Amino acid sequence: MKSLTATYLEVDLTSGGSSARPVPSEVVELYLGGRGLGARLLFDSTPPGLDPFDERMPIIFSVGPLTGSAAPQSNRFVVTTKSPATGAIADSHCGGSFATKLKKAGFDGVIVRGRSPRPVYLEIKDGKAELKDAAHLWGKGTVATQAALPASFGKAVIGPAGENRVPFACIVSQNRIAGRTGTGAVMGSKNLKAIIADGSAATFERDEAFKELQKEVTEFLRSHPMTGQILPTLGTANLVMTCAGRNIIPTRNFQKGHDRRTPELAGERMRDELLIRKDGCLSCPVKCGRHIRLGKGEGKGPEFETIGLLGNNLGIFDMQTVAELGELCDDLGMDTISMGGVLGFATELTERGLLNSELAWGRVEAYHEAIEATARRSGLGAELAEGTRALAKRRGGEEFAIQVKGLELPAYDPRGCFGQGLEYATNNRGGCHVRGSTMFLEATGPVSIDPHSTAGKPELVVFQQDMNAAVSSLVFCYFASYAVLPAFAFKLEASSAAYRLAMAAASRATGPALWLAMRMKNPAQLLWFEKFLSAAWGRRVGLGEFMRAGARIYNLERLYNLREGMSGSADTLPRRLLDEPTFPGAKAGVPLADMLRRYYRVRGWDSEGVPTPATLRRLAIRS
Amino acid sequence: MALFVPHYALAKRLGRTELRSEAATVGALLDEIRALVPPEEWRASLRAAILVNGRHIHYLQGMKTPLAADDEVWMVFPSSGG
């Protein structure tokens, strides 16, 4: 077995000092890398109750055991800290090339503490760290900032929103975004404008067996309908028509599940009318990014989430306008999901006379100004910049403030996918869709586990969350997991007996099958994730060990949140999503309570949502 | 009359993004649409999910699902992303 020790660079911005910190093999073996290792390091290195903007709060950048290996979809990094938006653990993931550059610079991660007395950026080159003056970059957008830094380096930068500690400020790398949970604000609180990395260290030793596996998985992903056709052809905007048909795309602050004009935002239209080229991360065969024609020339095609929250949710049905609002958020350094959620909520507040503003559905100019003002905390923006939860506390409307644990919800209305509702309610980082993507198995994928039933959903959500925790600790792109469903499922004709059988089996057997699977040791290697991890570690890792690592990581994050004062009472949804139906004949929204009780039992938590001592022992978690 | 929203490719073929129909069931509505397109193009549509007011017809009454005025019937393909 190879040495699994991970080496982090520790930097103290207050003193300006730095040193290498080895993370022992036994910790890496339990927490894999990326998200898992970041959670362990955060838990161990902070006292309870530390404010996200306290200078002792670390912000941790982690890569994974496969970074630099050129394994498909492995070129990502994770940022871990405490979220200023939620008060819970923050982890945000990003593609691009920064992860490999950091590895080439000689590190598996960077831990930054302290606060610089003046704006700086951190340059990491061939094992050495240097803080450099960033006065000339302060106040600049993420595009200009990256352009002003040396071209050969991988970069992770913030914009004005991060500098101004907007709790949903993001970190940008090329045109990829670590968007959620406000990690950019923590970076800004430290007067750290950017981290750049480059070097010539060997990143990964690839033997013939590894190259064969890499080729096999790349070909598999290229041939799979989801990762080889749908995502490459349409990008994530492929979801627009499906979510509209399913009645789950946010519309006017989640007052409805679609609009008659939603099809104007279809990914197919972007492809046919605006697409210039596809775009993607290093070593990714999918290339889900879009580069499109814009009024001013060309730019980034919006992701589905941006379309959902900054477009459909606000009554804007012109793709180029949505793209421009998305680019504005990227440049200012703000998460498009949270920004769209805040604007939707503020617009409804205005409609109801609870807020005095110019915001109105479809009024592009007002939204444009509000986004600028939010990043700079000026005028109305000073209120919007505190996020939906704080705005509701100040102005009212808590029942239609669409957030969970302080994080605005993404573009899947859970009233049409109950499991996704349970996932939102229980996710450690709050209202997020990529902790398990249960909606893929309920509503958007080829086989639909009855989205309006609660049966089997707790088991499904736990399985998906644990799988995601493990995959995003490698650090692989979670989109790869959409290829786990066999290709034949995409070819079934909806009226065929085989399709009906698959639907019935999925709805009835998923719960018991997953309950059983999660209790088995399962030494088999069923997915490519365990195979790649085995190659990195030089010993065999089975699916059971891989999934247990995911469960361990998930439970550790839960322990962090509990330690920081977040109890089980935070595992809920906004009243609108619980009480107000959007489907004809329905009397309410998501029936959360029954699913939640069962979810706690499946997780091995007590009735208050606290992991039991037996669960901690089973997962070898030291708390 | 129920509203039918075809998937993108079918909409292009039909030259319309939505149609109205007085069909009494989903099956009857799809028969109407099928008659408007060449058989080889209709084949591609067979893999689409049929949704009535957001609900998959598998969880309603399949092709016999009755349609009322103002019902919305959508045809969509599997999708994913985030």
| A224's tokens | 């799979």
CB atoms within 10 A of CB A512: 12
pLDDT at A87 over 90: yes
* Chain A closest-CA separation from residue B74 CA (Å): 5
Rounded to whole angstroms, the Cα distance separating A93 from A177 reads 8
Dihedral of CA atoms A551, A557, A563, A565 in degrees, nearest 10, equals -110
The answer to whether residue B64 sits within a structural domain is yes
Share of chain A above pLDDT 90, in %: 92
Residue-wise pLDDT for A454-494, tens only, equals 999 999 999 999 999 999 999 999 998 899 899 999 989 88
Instruction: Please indicate whether residue B44 or residue A58 has the higher confidence score (pLDDT).
Output: A58
Residue-wise pLDDT for A169-218, tens only, equals 999 999 999 999 999 999 999 999 999 999 999 889 899 999 999 999 99
Q: Which helix (H) or strand (E) holds A310?
A: none
Question: Looking only at Cα atoms, what is the longest distance across chain A?
Answer: 69
Q: Give CA A294 to chain center in angstroms.
A: 27
pLDDT of residue B81: 86
Q: Are A505 and A513 in contact, with CB atoms under 8 Å apart?
A: no
Beta carbons of B78 and A446 less than 8 Å apart: yes
Rounded to whole angstroms, the Cα distance separating A563 from B32 reads 61
Q: Which amino acid type is present at position A485?
A: L
pLDDT of residue A473: 98
pLDDT of residue A540: 95
pLDDT at A35 over 80: yes
List C-alpha distances in Å: A23 to A2, A6, A127, A206, A559.
Answer: 15, 5, 16, 23, 21
Beta carbons of B9 and A268 less than 8 Å apart: yes
DSSP tag of A229: I
| Residue in B closest to A248 by C-alpha | B54
Domain spans of chain A, in order of start: 6-198, 231-408, 414-618
Mean pLDDT, to the nearest integer, of A156-180?
98
Quickly state the pLDDT bin for A519 (edges 50, 70, 90).
confident
Beta carbons of A238 and B80 less than 8 Å apart: yes
Find the CB nearest B55 among A242, A494, A583.
A583
Quickly state the pLDDT bin for A445 (edges 50, 70, 90).
very high
Quickly state the pLDDT bin for A73 (edges 50, 70, 90).
very high
Beta carbons of B80 and A437 less than 8 Å apart: yes
pLDDT of residue B82: 77
Find the CB nearest A288 among B46, B48, B81.
B81
Give A464's contacts in chain B (Cβ within 8 Å).
none
Find the CB nearest B59 among A437, A450, A482.
A450
Give A429's contacts in chain B (Cβ within 8 Å).
none
As a whole number, the mean pLDDT across chain A is 96
Give the SS3 label for residue A381. Answer: helix
Residue-wise pLDDT for B14-52, tens only, equals 999 999 999 999 999 999 999 999 998 899 899 999 999
Give B51's contacts in chain A (Cβ within 8 Å).
245-247
Give A305's contacts in chain B (Cβ within 8 Å).
82
| Low-confidence winner among A102-111, A511-520, A601-610 (lowest mean pLDDT) | A511-520
Beta carbons of B77 and A416 less than 8 Å apart: no
Residues 6 or more apart from A83 whose CB is under 8 A from it?
A: A52, A89, A90, A167, A181, A182, A183, A406, A407, A429, A430
Q: What is the ipTM of this complex?
A: 0.98
* Chain B closest-CA separation from residue A590 CA (Å): 15
Instruction: Identify the CA nearest to A145 among candidates A191, A193, A97.
Output: A193
Phi-psi region of A103 (alpha: psi -120 to 50; beta: other; left: phi over 0): alpha
* Chain B closest-CA separation from residue A604 CA (Å): 29
Could you tell me the CATH number of the domain that includes residue B63?
A: 3.10.20.30
Mean pLDDT, to the nearest integer, of A426-431?
98
User: Does residue B80 sit at the A interface (CB-CB below 8 Å)?
Assistant: yes
* Candidates A249, A271, A448, A481, partner chain B, best to mutate (most B CBs within 10 A): A448
Instruction: Identify the CA nearest to A186 among candidates A159, A206, A167.
Output: A167
Fold match flag (A6-198 vs A231-408): no
The domain in which residue B6 lies consists of: 2-76
pLDDT of residue A3: 82
Find the CB nearest B78 among A437, A445, A450.
A445
pLDDT of residue A623: 79
Q: CA-based angle A428:A195:A536, to the nearest 5?
A: 65
Size of interface A-B (CB pairs under 8 A): 119
pLDDT of residue A397: 98
Residues 6 or more apart from A157 whose CB is under 8 A from it?
A: A121, A142, A145, A146, A149, A171, A172, A173, A193, A194, A195, A333
Q: Are A347 and A361 in contact, with CB atoms under 8 Å apart?
A: yes
Mean pLDDT, to the nearest integer, of A240-249?
98
Residue-wise pLDDT for A315-327, tens only, equals 999 999 999 999 9
Rounded to whole angstroms, the Cα distance separating A132 from A148 reads 13
- 3 state SS for A251-289: ECCCCECCCCCHHHHCHHHHHHHCEEEEECCCCCCCCCE
Q: Name the strands in the sheet holding B2-5, side by side, starting at the edge strand that comes first in the sequence.
A: B19-21, B2-5, B72-76, B49-52, B55-56
Beta carbons of B80 and A583 less than 8 Å apart: no
Give domain A231-408's CATH number out of 1.10.569.10, 3.90.1150.60, 1.10.150.120, 3.30.1490.270. 1.10.569.10
The answer to whether residue B82 sits within a structural domain is no
Q: Counting Cβ atoms within 10 Å, is residue A564 exposed (0-12), middle (13-18) or buried (19+)?
A: middle
pLDDT at A526 over 90: no
pLDDT at A440 over 80: yes
Q: Are A239 and A231 in contact, with CB atoms under 8 Å apart?
A: no
Beta carbons of B76 and A241 less than 8 Å apart: yes
Give A451's contacts in chain B (Cβ within 8 Å).
56
Count: domains in chain B: 1
Beta carbons of A257 and B54 less than 8 Å apart: yes
- Tokens 């103290």 belong to A12
User: Does residue B69 sit at the A interface (CB-CB below 8 Å)?
Assistant: no
User: Does residue B54 sit at the A interface (CB-CB below 8 Å)?
Assistant: yes
User: Does residue B60 sit at the A interface (CB-CB below 8 Å)?
Assistant: no
User: Does residue B25 sit at the A interface (CB-CB below 8 Å)?
Assistant: no
CATH number given to A6-198:
3.60.9.10
| Residue in A closest to B43 by C-alpha | A493
User: Does residue B48 sit at the A interface (CB-CB below 8 Å)?
Assistant: yes
Beta carbons of B75 and A245 less than 8 Å apart: yes
pLDDT of residue A196: 98
Give A416's contacts in chain B (Cβ within 8 Å).
54
pLDDT of residue A520: 83
pLDDT of residue A2: 81
DSSP E strand boundaries for A301-456: 403-404, 407-408
Q: What are phi and psi of A485, to 5 degrees?
A: -70, 130
pLDDT at A296 over 80: no
CATH architecture of A414-618: Orthogonal Bundle (1.10)
Rounded to whole angstroms, the Cα distance separating A383 from A357 reads 11
Beta carbons of A239 and B80 less than 8 Å apart: yes
Find the CB nearest B5 among A245, A257, A499.
A245
Q: Are A83 and A89 in contact, with CB atoms under 8 Å apart?
A: yes
* Chain A closest-CA separation from residue B60 CA (Å): 11
pLDDT of residue A260: 95
pLDDT at A351 over 90: yes
pLDDT at A437 over 90: yes
